[in-house]
Structure 1
Amino acid sequence: MIAVTGATGQLGRLVIEALLKTVPPAQIVAAVRSTEKAADLAARGVQVRRADYNESATLDDAFTGVKKLLLISSNELGKRGTQHRAAIDAARRAGVELIAYTSLLHADTSPLGLAGEHRETEAALRESMVPFAVLRNGWYTENYTGSLAPALEHGAILGDSGDGRISSAARVDYAEAAAVVLTSDAQSSGIYELAGDTAYTLAEFAAEVAKQSGKPVAYRDMSEAEYKAALIGVGLPEPVAALISDSGTGAAKGALFDDSRQLSKLIGRPTTPLASVIAAALAK
């Protein structure tokens, strides 16, 4: 039995899809806060169980009989360390034999503010004495293509990453990697630094968008404070704006670059090219 937390999220759904290629649906558990949102998964034979990081009893029930668990990091910033530890403790009580956790690229040395809670979770995994795999995911290319509409409207992509090179990959690439780790005895415990095969600057990203869209789009580099203010100006909450602008500054320092190609080796194919992700986003 393989369980996936956050199974109705963007990454979680892709992991479920990847697992269904080789694992019978009855052997997959979609652990979710809202079972109603997973009705389509239940219709396909996947076991849907309620699992709320803030309610340990639901975690105990959700992980019953589970052999391998994918712990997808929570999206509640500031609460994730406590929430993840609760899930790890429940997995230990349930006798889970492997916990795979979606961490952050180079989490142990990353300057990103995001890294702190990931380091805390990795420490909890080591303390749990349960075998684990750490999937240190790099940036999703969709983090940038998700905001192409305003970029095309205004002819600019804003950021504070300077000339920092970003080794992003498509979300589906990371999902397939998680499925490989969960289904292969050969690819089990360990730490995986996962990133795209090639890297780009945001200026190069903007140039590719301009090329494919046929519209003038350029990258406008800003200071961290300016970029944060711009994000707040378009309606993002201050903590989220601070996190994004901090990540951009980290990218300028090389925090989102990795050339080990562990991701493509794990999934057995090249990672999805930047141009392909941009093309898919423009086609929507």
Structure 2
Amino acid sequence: MSTTPLLVTGASGHLGRRVLELLLARGAGPIIATTRNPDSLKDFAARGVDVRRADFDDEASLSQAFRGAGRALLISTDALDRPGRRLAQHQAAIRAMKAAGVRHIVYTSLPNPHPGSPISVAADHRETEAAIQASGLDFTFLRNNLYTDLFLHSLPAAIASGQLVDARGTGATAFVTREDCAQAAAAALAEPTTGRHTLDVTGPEAVTSDELAALLSELAGRKVVHVSVPPDALVRGMVGHGLPQPAAELYASFDAGIQKGELATVTDTVKRLSGHAPQSVRDFLTAHRAVLLPARNT
């Protein structure tokens, strides 16, 4: 086993923390974990992880933060507050990784981030991939589909109202759990692969909203119907319920992409990397039934 450190950026987030757990469980490492707030990873520091502060808005600090790593997991940042910020962060990180001696970058990307994608964040991922390609480094692009976990926030209201409202039409999505994405990322980082790889990370099937509504009806024991509306109407509805306009437009852009089939590809990437099949939407929702259904008065 290599003794060259593995680097995980954004390590205090949900995905990053789970990747750290999986790397420790498999005895991989040494491990470097970077975050804006090192105190948030004190529990991992106590377990031998080298926790370092990294500010992606301060490029001068990054080469030192990444020093010594041979393979790096670059988890896409959440800097969506102003146009161009996230891409600038990624580009700075890539330059710093190369300067620090990193040889292979594993990057969490998006399916089909081509110029014609209606998904508003596709350009960030496309240009980040281009920067990694131009760096001359080896890479693995993990093009993660939408998290099944997001259902825990959106579906209780659909069940309560009896309507699953979106702008997806008959488009299907190969939803994948965050856990399966973490398993794939940990494996891609830990295994000493070389070369350049682009992998779609998906669940075991692509599910339409009509199929999802039928599944919710079955789980809830009450009728839930799918109602597809135009994207602009979806934005107005979300803003009317208190969601900020930029967030509403982002969600609606994903729906527009789904309607066009941008997230419908199904692969066996999770099984090939992690050794186990990804969890289905049905199994995930069944396991979280108590979260989805309102408590009944007794």
Structure 2 length as normaliser, TM-score? 0.89
Matched, 1:8 2:12: yes
Structure 1: gaps spanning 5 or more residues: none
Query: Match for residue 269 of structure 1?
Result: 276
What's the CA shift string for 1:8-52, capped at 9, x where partnerless? Answer: 112112211221221356x11221111122222223332211111
Aligned pair 1:20/2:24, yes or no?
Answer: yes
The structure with the largest alpha-carbon Rg is 2
CA RMSD of aligned residues (A): 1.8
- Cα distance, 1:188 vs. partner? 6.0
Are residues 1:169 and 2:176 paired? yes
Mapping of residues 70-109 of structure 1, within 5 Å: 70-77=73-80, 78=83, 79-108=85-114
- 1:65 maps to 2:72: no
Residue 35 (structure 1) aligns with? 38
Deviation at 1:175, TM superposition (A): 0.9
Unaligned runs of 5+ in 2: 292-298
Structural mapping, 1:1-284, within 5 Å: 1-24=5-28, 27-77=30-80, 78=83, 79-108=85-114, 110-186=117-193, 189-284=196-291
- State the distance in 2 between where 1:92 and 1:269 align: 33
Structure 1 partner of 2:296 = none
1:154/1:221 CA distance change after superposition, 3 Å:
same
Q: Equivalents in 2 of 1:41, 1:231: separation in Å?
A: 38
CA contact (8 A) 2:28 2:190 kept: no
Partner deviation per Cα, 1:96-124 (whole Å, 9 max, x = no partner): 11111111012236442221111110111
Question: Contact 2:104–2:194 (CA<8 Å) still a contact in 1?
Answer: no
1:281 counterpart letter in structure 2: H
Structure 1 stretches of 4+ with a deviation exceeding 6 A read none
Query: How far does residue 247 in structure 1 lie from its aligned partner after superposition?
Result: 0.8
Counterpart AA for 2:55? D
Offset, 1:283: 3.0
Contact 2:36 2:55 in 1 (8 A): yes
Instruction: Using the TM superposition, give the Cα deviation of residue 246 of structure 1 relative to its aligned residue in structure 2, in angstroms.
Output: 1.1
Moved more, 51-60 or 142-151: 142-151
1:69 is paired with a residue whose SS is strand
Aligned residues: 283
Deviation at 1:143, TM superposition (A): 2.4
Q: For residue 64 of structure 1, give the secondary structure of its aligned residue in structure 2.
A: coil
Question: Which segment is superposed worse, 101-110 or 185-194?
Answer: 185-194
CA–CA separation in structure 2 for the residues paired with 1:124 and 1:88: 7
Equivalent-residue separation in structure 2 for 1:236 and 1:92 (angstroms)? 39
| Equivalent-residue separation in structure 1 for 2:172 and 2:236 (angstroms) | 23
